[in-house]
């Protein structure tokens, strides 16, 4: 198993980071939150999980070991593959997921693209004794209170990490704000990966 990758960040894309290790570029699938902390040309160390399929080998990268562990535990639930597990971590920090499961918060799980009401109920049952209790600051707080930076901050940081100027990132955030606000109005949480794709389309049209 490849436990981590350490090296210079060679390239960044909306869902991928390429880290140069011994002259080889390792492509890692990452959440927007993880990508936002990376900069091209700068050193990075990412915890990793290798997913082996008959037709492919996919390496997933994480900000720390806790995020990787939650990623792997999520996949012990029926119907949860690596892509859905990564989507859950793109919307919620590890402790936010633990709180959601511990308190039976269906809304938190249905905020993840690809999870409906029935799926959320099933996941709450299956994961209840697997994820454990919240471990970070604010562990006793309500669900979502310590889920990390808001969607605006995450989106801005991800765009700047991809090489866009602060002004361009701010304009793109404003452009996709109605989409995020619509999700909030429906009682959910904005899905940062979807917002990032929409923001990139806006920026590409402006160029």
CATH architecture of 4-62: Beta Barrel (2.40)
CA distance 20 to 178: 38
DSSP 138: T
Most confident of 5-19, 139-153, 191-205: 5-19
The DSSP string of 119-132 is: HHHHHHHHHTTTS-
Q: 66-127: which CATH number, 3.90.1200.10, 1.10.150.20, 3.30.1370.60, 3.30.1120.10? A: 1.10.150.20
CA distance 18 to 25: 6
CB-based contact 108:96 (threshold 8 Å) = yes
CB-based contact 147:138 (threshold 8 Å) = no
In the chain, CATH 1.10.8 covers 151-206
pTM above 0.95, yes or no: no
Taking all residues of the chain, what is their mean pLDDT, rounded to a whole number? Answer: 84
Ranking 4-8, 92-96, 123-127 by mean pLDDT, the lowest is: 92-96
**Neighbour-count burial for 146-169, b at 16+ CB within 10 Å, e otherwise:** bbeeebbebbbbbbbbbebeeebb
Where do we find the tokens 């918060």?
A: 105
pLDDT tens digit sequence for 122-165: 999 999 888 877 765 544 433 333 344 677 887 887 787 777 88
DSSP 190: -
Q: What band does 37 get if pLDDT is binned at 50, 70 and 90? A: confident
Domain 151-206: which topology? Answer: Helicase, Ruva Protein; domain 3 (1.10.8)
**In the prediction, which pLDDT does 80 show?**
92
Burial of 34 (0-12, 13-18, 19+ CB in 10 A): buried
């Amino acid at each position: 198993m490849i436990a981590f990758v350490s090296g210079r960040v060679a390239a960044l894309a909306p869902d991928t980071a390429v880290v140069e290790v011994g002259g080889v570029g390792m492509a890692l699938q990452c959440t927007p939150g993880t990508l936002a902390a990376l900069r091209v040309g700068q050193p990075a160390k990412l915890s990793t999980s290798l997913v082996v399929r008959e037709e492919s080998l996919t390496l997933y990268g994480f900000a720390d070991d806790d995020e990787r562990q939650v990623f792997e535990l999520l996949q012990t639930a029926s119907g949860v593959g690596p892509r859905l597990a990564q989507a859950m971590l793109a919307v919620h920090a590890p402790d936010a997921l633990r709180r959601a499961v511990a308190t039976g918060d269906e809304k938190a799980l249905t905020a993840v693209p690809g999870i409906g009401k029935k799926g959320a109920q099933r996941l709450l049952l299956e994961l209840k004794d697997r994820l454990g209790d919240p471990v970070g600051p604010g562990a006793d707080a309500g669900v979502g209170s310590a889920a990390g930076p808001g969607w605006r901050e995450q989106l801005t940081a991800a765009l700047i990490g991809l090489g866009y100027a602060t002004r361009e990132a701010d304009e793109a955030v404003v452009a996709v704000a109605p989409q995020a606000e619509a999700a909030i109005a429906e009682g959910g949480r904005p899905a940062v990966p979807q917002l990032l794709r929409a923001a990139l389309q806006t920026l590409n049209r402006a160029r």
